[in-house]
Amino acid sequence: MTDVIAGDALEASFEALEQEHVEVEGLRAEVAQLKARLEASERPALSGAKSETSPFVERYLRKGLEHGVELKAMSGSSDAAGGYAVPEEIDSAIERTLTSISPIRAIASVVKVGTSGYRKLVTAGGTPSGWVAETAARPETDTPVFNEIAPPFGELYANPAASQAMLDDAAFDVEAWLASEIATEFARSEGAAFVSGSGVNRPKGFLAAATAESADGVRPFGTLQLLKTGVAGGFPASNPQDKLIDLVQSLRSPYRQGAVFVMNSATAARIRKFKTSDGAFLWQPGLVAGQPDTLLGYPVVEAEDMPDVAADSLSIAFGNFKAGYLIAERAETQILRDPFTNKPFVHFYATRRVGGQVMNSEAIKLLKFAA
């Protein structure tokens, strides 16, 4: 029995050696073929033989393969469409004029939603309560009033195009630059809508909401309270700061924690000159970098989308925008690179879907420059 097992093992070892021999012979054959090809490539080409073509011809022109092939644009179009980048050397960074972006998004309440059919419930009046004796019956109390908020949505879009020559030859990253430009312009457009948007295919701004002079608890839900300066297109000649104090005190104390003034820089320039009777300025600049200036102890946010002071203008807002204004957005800005629709131009189609509306009309007050 032991002899049979030893014979089987010996036979298996012979078969393994034969297999290794076959593999070695195969490798030798491959090496010989490679040597023959190398010698043939070193010999001069015979008359009439086809010489080796360039990778551009073989890979790109014949097969349409771009990998490993250096492509260069051969002509430019007009200067504004990329012609500057073709014959001249330009800086790798692009400077741009700064665009004023509305800061309303930074002070409002922002939620991410999955659909444009977003709804939010806001209660008015709270839940009433009462006092009873230890053994007295507990009668039913009133339930709070629910109000539904459905912020109108709109879709921002941009579809700029860049020539293929510009993309190929420019020293800077054109695609990243265009994406940055689109994002900046979207921020500017949506910021203007948050202030004065009509609500038709765009957010409804807080200045587009209904207004009334009646106090909280009397006005209909969704109607903002406004206070008048008493002078059309300006402040009163004497004690103009009193109107600002009235505006602050019209906002109930629960909302004043976190409240801010919102106005544009032209209106702020007027108010910075206001002084008290003892000569002190109402406006206090921020003493630490990054901290906003304050007016009557509350931060001032400069939004250039707010209107200038004029007759019947709503140029100053004061309130807690986290509680007062709702911004709903479906997703971040989406950018699609489209090189096929309009050859030889490459389009960058960008979209952004966002909505907005006043959420709590008691949390925002407006100052109207009217008699």
Q: What is the mean pLDDT of each run of 10 residues along the chain (371 residues)?
A: 55 65 69 63 45 51 55 47 45 56 88 84 76 87 82 89 77 73 85 93 94 90 92 89 93 93 94 84 79 88 93 95 92 80 86 91 94 86
Q: Can you give the CATH number for the domain in which 149 is found?
A: 3.90.1690
> How many domains does the structure of the chain reveal?
1
Give start and end residues of each alpha helix (H) in the chain.
Answer: 2-42, 55, 104-107, 164-169, 174-196, 241-250, 253-256, 265-271, 321-324
Residue 81 lies in a domain: no
Residue 320 lies in a domain: yes
Plot region of 222 (φ>0 → left; ψ -120 to 50 → alpha; else → beta): left
- For position 344, what pLDDT does the model report? 86
Residue 156 lies in a domain: yes
Instruction: Compute CA 226 distance to the chain's CA centroid, rounded to the nearest angstrom.
Output: 31
Euclidean distance between the first and final Cα of the chain, in Å?
Answer: 121
Backbone φ and ψ of 322, nearest 5°: -65, -35
CA dihedral 235, 239, 251, 296 (to 10 degrees): 110
Rounded distance between C-alpha atoms, residue 249 and residue 240, angstroms: 15
- For position 90, what pLDDT does the model report? 45
Residue 74 lies in a domain: no
Q: How far is CA 242 from CA 214, 235, 263, 277, 284, in A?
A: 19, 10, 17, 12, 17
Residue 190 lies in a domain: yes
Q: Tell me which residue has tokens 């600002």.
A: 244
Residue range of the domain that includes 117: 105-124+144-368
Helix, strand, coil shares of the chain as percentages rounded to 5?
A: 30, 25, 45
- For position 92, what pLDDT does the model report? 52
Pairing outcome for strands 364-368 and 314-319: antiparallel
Backbone φ and ψ of 121, nearest 5°: -100, 135
Backbone φ and ψ of 172, nearest 5°: -95, 170
- For position 62, what pLDDT does the model report? 53
Residue 15 lies in a domain: no
- For position 21, what pLDDT does the model report? 65
- For position 128, what pLDDT does the model report? 75
Residue 29 lies in a domain: no
Residues shown for the chain: 371
Residues 6+ apart with CB under 8 A from 224: 206, 209, 210, 211, 212, 358, 361, 364, 365, 366
How crowded is residue 251: how many other Cβ atoms within 10 Å of its Cβ?
21
Rounded distance between C-alpha atoms, residue 328 and residue 152, angstroms: 9
Residues 6+ apart with CB under 8 A from 303: 102, 103, 104, 191, 195, 262, 263, 264
Residue 162 lies in a domain: yes
Question: Can you give the three-state secondary structure of 81-139, one letter per residue?
Answer: HCHHHCCCCCCCCCCCCCCCCCCHHHHCEEEECCCCCCCEEEEECCCCCCCCCCCCCCC
Q: Whole-structure pTM over 0.75, yes or no?
A: no
